[in-house]
Amino acid sequence: MLTIRLQRIGKKSQPSYRLIISEKSKATNSSVLEYLGHYHPASKDKKVELNKERIQFWISKGAGTSETVNNILVKNGVIEGKKVKTFYIPTKVKKAKEETKKKAEAEAKKAKEAKEAEEAAKPATESTENPQA
């Protein structure tokens, strides 16, 4: 299956990417069928140069897009649709966060109940200590 995806080029700490079309199972730096544009996220205006006609041609032939490329194409009006979520949190991490959140909430609830119990006990002892006041 053919996919349109990004190929990193540029210096260290100065990324720039080429939009390429290649076989999905091959590495991005191996054989490329065609270069379809450039993406420079390091520049202030995040410069994007796209060959819209060729991108639409390849998509019409059944080529897919990576999630990031899909978002770039939607943003620049080459294709229509919604942006795709590109970052996924692993389920193990989600569960660990939920557990720590539940523990923190339980501790906060216990501390609040203990504080309320102390406040409820104070007026009762004050009224019994000073009956003349």
* pLDDT value of position 128: 58
Contact 18, 7 (CB under 8 A): yes
Q: Give domain 2-75's CATH superfamily.
A: Ribosomal protein S16 (3.30.1320.10)
**Every domain of the chain and the residues it spans:** 2-75, 89-133
118: three-class secondary structure by DSSP? helix
* pLDDT value of position 103: 92
Count the alpha carbons within 13 Å of 4 in the hemisphere toward its beta carbon: 28
Residues 6 or more apart in contact with residue 63 via CB below 8 angstroms: 1, 2, 3, 4, 21
Give the pLDDT means over successive 10-residue stretches in the chain (133 positions).
92 92 88 92 89 93 92 91 83 88 91 85 63 56
